[in-house]
Amino acid sequence: MRFSSLVSSLLLLSSLALASSEPPATAVVDDTALEKSNQSTADEADEADEANEEMIVLGQLQVARTRQMVVTKLQRMGYAEVKRKNGRSILRHRAAYKPTVILDDDGWVSLKRSPLKIDPPGKKSNKLRYLWCLPPFTITPACIKPGGQLISRRKLSGHKERVVKQITPYLREWKGAVITHSMDARLSKEIPDLLDEIWEQGQAGDGPFLESHAQRRAAIFDFWANRSCVKEGGLAREVARDFIVEIIQNSATPASRSELRKTNKLQRCPDARPLPLSSDH
């Protein structure tokens, strides 16, 4: 069972661990009860998996919703999406001298001078209107509108500032959703999977192969001790701590008290919870 399926069920696992340490009331082993207990634990893990997936999906929906709010605001300002590729949208204003807006799916926004605009006269549905772009008409403004290239840098900066000012409230909400979703995915999926790979396979990604469990413990302890002393680092550190307490210390090769003491001394964040030195955690 992978640790990622246990992140949302730590209280349940703690209760089971404490219950398993109590002496049996009788010498008779109830196989049926044991099977039901194992099935119940598996069901809880499945529910935790579903909860994690649901949380990630909800985060994706929130990112999409807040991003669309930015696009809708720009559309009301006269912008239209002219291209979308590789997670990037390009929006241009109907007035060629106004800046082009580029939206990246990671929450970044950039504004730049609009390029030459090819917009021959006639109805948009009439493809023959592009005949205006053939010689000798290409030397006339009937086809090419250079507005974005002719505006001065000072005036362009003024237009950029006005665009940014109008979309800033929507950008804040969008970036907040992107950050929250990324952090949720990292805490509920990426970090647990990373720790699982180190502990079970002795390797994570392109890292070196760790043959012994002592080496694997050291790598996971190093991960716990070297998270940053900010909110995000603290959350990641707690996931690593839970893995150490619930998985490593309940395995056939737990860390010794001296290992745990040494690791606790490496922790530099004052608000970090130390690793417990006994099984009573």
pLDDT in tens, 165-219: 999 999 999 999 998 898 988 999 999 999 999 999 998 778 889 999 999 999 9
| H helix or E strand, kind and range, residue 92 | strand 88-93
CA dist 185 and 52 (Å) reads 8
Q: Which of 28-37, 156-165, 235-244 has the lowest mean pLDDT?
A: 28-37
Terminal-residue alpha carbon distance, the chain: 21
136-158 pLDDT, tens digit per residue, is 655 556 676 666 777 888 999 99
* Geometric angle at alpha carbon 40, from 251 and 236, rounded to 5°: 50
pTM over 0.85: no
CA dist 109 and 73 (Å) reads 14
The confidence score (pLDDT) of residue 245 equals: 95
